[in-house]
């Protein structure tokens, strides 16, 4: 019996010393890594990994108000509320950036301005824009830029809000006027403008006056940034200056930027470099990479603040609410973020009346392409609403694809580069607050399998918590979560053609990674259980012997 007891105690100790597993957890010999079949590889499999070093920190994704806000203010209150929800709340796009127009004139060609004459203001001049500005502030939009297409005519060479130049002698007065607007909005409306853009596409004066605009000499841009930066620092320190909103990256911003950003005062006062992504010509990867170099040199982020209206050939007319235009937008977003390292991406108009057909007479035309409208909005409304009473809001695939990013990539999220070629897929990966968001764009005509490896962090595991997709037949629809290979931390997912898919993964402690002190906590109960079991066996074996002895 002593030999049996010793053997059983030794076995109990060996059992207790073996690694502990949670109830129901597979042992090493039956773990998924040991039994799962190898991942498939072939021409339809795209394999990539997330890089070891993070890239830029995101500031937001947003839209501009432009001339739709005064129109929508004339819609029924319930429609206005719905539009605000579609833009600013988690039930819609949950935008984190918004551009508010600071008008300069009498309402033609742009929104009405606040300035009546120097020193006197009419703060009730633009109730439509103010309504949606307050909605953005109320719903938590964190990056709100007040942008001006033109100075009021009192500061321009032609006395108008289009067709003229900013007078060099009025730079200081114009900067003071903009600061007056910022402080009034903050103090009276309770909305904080975090940035001010004092010029828009400053190489052109917009002489045909189809919109507000003014020319600003390159030499005057630095002076304007410095003057506005000083005023804001003294009276509205919560706001910074962004510039210069050039139309073209290749022909305007890059060659002209040294002429104004090269001055110490402008660099010091500038919050971000802003540009519009209108070409000319197809995207220039080299230009975006040069922009990223400028960001590093001057230690200032770049914001892409306006883009729209690609019709399959060039920037121009053409209305297409379907997936083609949405994928084009997603591709440009991918290029600006990955090659240009931009930290903010704004589409042009949130809403547009440029639908190109009579939706009141032919309601179905809103869902079909036509050559007469413009792809300048995410949402659309009837331009003849005042006459026919049609207050419907029409969605596009661009709206939903924008939501694939804006809902799931919040300010402060950090983009991580993707190593390896992912063609024909385009991937964006972000980490924030203990979670990953991965956006996958597939322009192709056949499905793919994505295998994406994440950086290995001991003690962490990835748990899929959601997946949404926009495709020709889906609008931010919930789809099956990806799988994550436990042994490698590799995400595996099927990606259909012509789609944008967003995967969200939570980073959680690995249940099998028990701290060293934890072994001592689990070993003692295991030893006790094993010893009790051993002694029980001995008791069962000994009792019959005692009964046989008494029988003698």
* CATH classification at residue 50: 2.60.40.1180
**pLDDT greater than 60 at residue 250:** yes
Mean pLDDT of 131-141: 98
Share of the chain above pLDDT 90, in %: 76
pLDDT tens digits, 293-319: 999 999 999 999 999 998 877 889 999
pLDDT over threshold 90, residue 539:
no
533 vs 550: CA distance, rounded Å:
27
pLDDT of residue 25: 30
473 in the same domain as 441: yes
Q: What is the pLDDT of residue 310?
A: 87
Q: Are 504 and 439 in contact (CB under 8 A)?
A: no
Cβ-in-10-Å burial (0-12, 13-18, 19+) of 550 comes to: exposed
245 in Cβ contact with 276 (< 8 Å): yes
**97-101/143-147 β-pairing:** parallel
Q: Give φ, ψ of 451 to 5 degrees.
A: -120, 110
Q: How much is the pLDDT for 510? A: 84
Structure confidence at residue 42 (pLDDT) = 56
Q: Per-residue pLDDT tens for 9-32?
A: 343 333 333 333 333 333 333 333
Residue 537 falls within a domain, yes or no? no
Q: For residues 415 and 418, what is the distance between their CA atoms, to the nearest angstrom?
A: 10
Q: Would residue 26 count as lying in a domain?
A: no
**Judgement on whether residues 389 and 469 belong to the same structural domain of the protein:** no
Contact status, residue 527 vs residue 12, Cβ threshold 8 Å: yes
Both 191 and 303 in one domain: the answer is yes
Same domain, 223 and 340: yes
Question: HSE on the CB side for 120, CA within 13 Å?
Answer: 2
Residues 275, 258 share a domain: yes
Q: What is the pLDDT of residues 466-501, one digit of tens each?
A: 999 999 999 999 999 999 998 889 999 999 999 999
Residue found by looking up tokens 């019996």 in the block: 1
Tell me the pLDDT tens digit for each residue of 39-54.
445 569 999 999 999 9
**Cis amide leading into 314 (omega within 30):** no
pLDDT above 70: percentage of residues in the chain: 84
Query: Is residue 263 situated within a structural domain?
Result: yes
- State mean pLDDT over 332-350: 97
Does residue 210 share a domain with residue 110? yes
Note the pLDDT of residue 176: 97
Structure tokens at 128: 């439509």
Instruction: Let me know the angle formed at the C-alpha of 236 by 414 and 171, rounded to the nearest 5 degrees.
Output: 105
Six token digits for residue 282: 């197809």
Domain boundary among 374, 406, 438: 406
Query: Which residues contact residue 486 at a Cβ distance below 8 angstroms, ignoring those fewer than 6 apart?
Result: 31, 32, 33, 461
Mean pLDDT, rounded, for 101-130: 90
Query: Is pLDDT at 108 greater than 70 in this prediction?
Result: yes
Whether the pLDDT of residue 285 is over 60: the answer is yes
> Are 440 and 393 part of one and the same domain?
no
Domains contained in the chain, number: 2
**Nearest CA-CA partner of 111 in 97, 95, 122, 98:** 122
Task: Report the C-alpha gap between 19 and 300 in whole angstroms.
Answer: 52
Residue 11 confidence (pLDDT): 38
320-345: average pLDDT: 96
Q: What is the reported pLDDT for 512? A: 59
**Final residue of a structural domain among 353, 381, 406:** 406
Give yes or no: residues 439 and 486 share one domain: yes
Q: What is the DSSP string of 226-251?
A: HHHHHHHHHH-TT-EEEEEEES-III
- Judge whether residue 206 has pLDDT over 80: yes
- Which CATH number is 344's domain given? 3.20.20.80
Kindly state the helix (H) or strand (E) to which residue 132 belongs, with its residue range.
Answer: helix 127-138
**Is 247 in the same domain as 182?**
yes
Q: Is-contact 224 166, C-beta < 8 A? A: yes
Q: Looking at 354, 373, 406, which one is the last position of a domain?
A: 406
Average pLDDT over residues 442-449: 94
Inside any domain, residue 10: no
Instruction: Confirm if 297 and 389 have CB atoms less than 8 A apart.
Output: no
Whether the per-residue pLDDT at 158 is higher than 80: the answer is: yes
Mean residue pLDDT of the chain comes to 86
pLDDT above 50 for 292: yes
Q: What is the pLDDT of residue 523?
A: 42
Helix, strand or coil for residue 28? Answer: helix
What local confidence, expressed as pLDDT, does residue 2 receive?
A: 39
Structural domain contains residue 81: yes
Dist CA 245 CA 149 (whole Å): 10
What's the 3-state SS for 164-187? EEECHHHHHHHHHHHHHHHHHHHH
The answer to the question of residue 319 being in a domain is yes
Do 204 and 299 belong to one domain?
yes
CA distance 359 to 385: 10
Tell me whether residue 543 is in a domain. Answer: no
In a domain? residue 7: no
At 507-536, the pLDDT tens digits run 999 875 545 444 444 444 443 334 334 434
In a 13 Å sphere around the CA of 25, the CA atoms on its Cβ side amount to: 12
Q: Bridge-partner residues for 489, per DSSP?
A: none
One domain, residues 134 and 262: yes
Q: Which domain holds residue 176?
A: 60-406
pLDDT at 536: 43
Same domain, 140 and 267: yes
The number of residues in the chain equals 552
């Amino acid at each position: 019996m002593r030999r049996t007891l010793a053997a059983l105690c030794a076995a109990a100790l060996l059992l207790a010393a073996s690694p502990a597993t949670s109830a129901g957890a597979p042992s090493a010999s039956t773990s998924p890594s040991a039994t799962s079949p190898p991942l498939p590889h072939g021409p339809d499999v795209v394999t990539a990994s997330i890089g070891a070093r993070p890239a830029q920190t995101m500031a937001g994704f947003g839209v501009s108000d432009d001339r739709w806000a005064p129109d929508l203010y004339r819609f029924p209150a319930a429609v206005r509320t719905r539009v605000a929800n579609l833009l600013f709340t988690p039930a819609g796009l949950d935008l984190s950036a918004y551009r508010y127009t600071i008008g300069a004139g009498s309402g033609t060609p742009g929104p009405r301005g606040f300035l009546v004459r120097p020193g006197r203001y009419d703060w009730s001049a633009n109730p439509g824009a103010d309504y949606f500005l307050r909605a953005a502030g109320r719903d938590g939009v964190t990056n709100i830029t007040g942008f001006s297409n033109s100075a009021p005519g009192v500061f321009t060479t032609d006395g108008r809000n289009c067709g003229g130049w900013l007078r060099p002698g009025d730079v200081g007065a114009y900067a003071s006027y903009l600061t007056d607007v910022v402080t009034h909005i903050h103090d009276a409306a309770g909305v904080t403008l975090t940035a001010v853009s004092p010029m828009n596409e400053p190489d052109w004066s917009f002489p045909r006056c189809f919109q507000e605009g003014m020319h600003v000499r390159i030499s005057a841009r630095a002076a304007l940034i410095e003057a506005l930066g000083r005023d804001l620092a003294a009276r509205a320190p919560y706001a910074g200056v962004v510039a210069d909103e050039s139309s073209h990256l290749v022909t305007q911003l890059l060659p002209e930027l040294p002429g104004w950003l090269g001055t110490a005062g402008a660099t010091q006062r500038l919050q971000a470099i802003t540009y519009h992504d209108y070409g000319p010509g197809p995207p220039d990867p080299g230009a975006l990479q040069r922009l990223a170099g400028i960001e590093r040199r001057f230690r200032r982020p770049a914001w892409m603040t306006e883009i729209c209206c690609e019709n399959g050939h060039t920037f121009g007319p053409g209305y297409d609410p379907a997936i083609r235009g949405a994928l084009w937008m997603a591709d440009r977003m991918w290029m600006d973020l990955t090659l240009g390292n931009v930290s903010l991406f704004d589409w042009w108009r949130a809403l547009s009346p440029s639908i190109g057909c009579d939706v009141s007479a032919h309601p179905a035309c809103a869902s079909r392409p036509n050559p007469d409208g413009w792809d300048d909005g995410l949402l659309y409304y009837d331009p003849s609403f005042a006459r026919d009473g049609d207050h419907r809001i029409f969605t596009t695939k661009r709206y939903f694809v924008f939501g694939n990013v804006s809902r799931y990539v919040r300010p402060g999220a950090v983009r991580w580069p993707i190593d390896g070629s992912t063609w024909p897929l385009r991937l964006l990966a972000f980490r924030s607050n203990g979670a990953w968001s991965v956006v996958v764009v597939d322009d192709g005509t056949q499905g793919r399998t994505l295998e994406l490896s994440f950086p290995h962090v001991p003690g962490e595991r990835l748990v899929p918590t959601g997946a949404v997709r926009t495709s020709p037949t889906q609008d931010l629809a919930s789809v099956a979560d990806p799988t994550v290979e436990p042994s490698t931390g590799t995400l595996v997912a099927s990606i259909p053609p012509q789609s944008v898919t967003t995967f969200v993964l939570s980073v959680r402690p690995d249940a099998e990674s028990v701290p060293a002190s934890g072994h001592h906590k689990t070993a003692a109960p295991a030893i006790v259980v094993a010893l009790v079991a051993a002694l029980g066996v001995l008791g069962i074996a000994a009792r019959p012997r005692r009964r046989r002895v008494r029988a003698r």
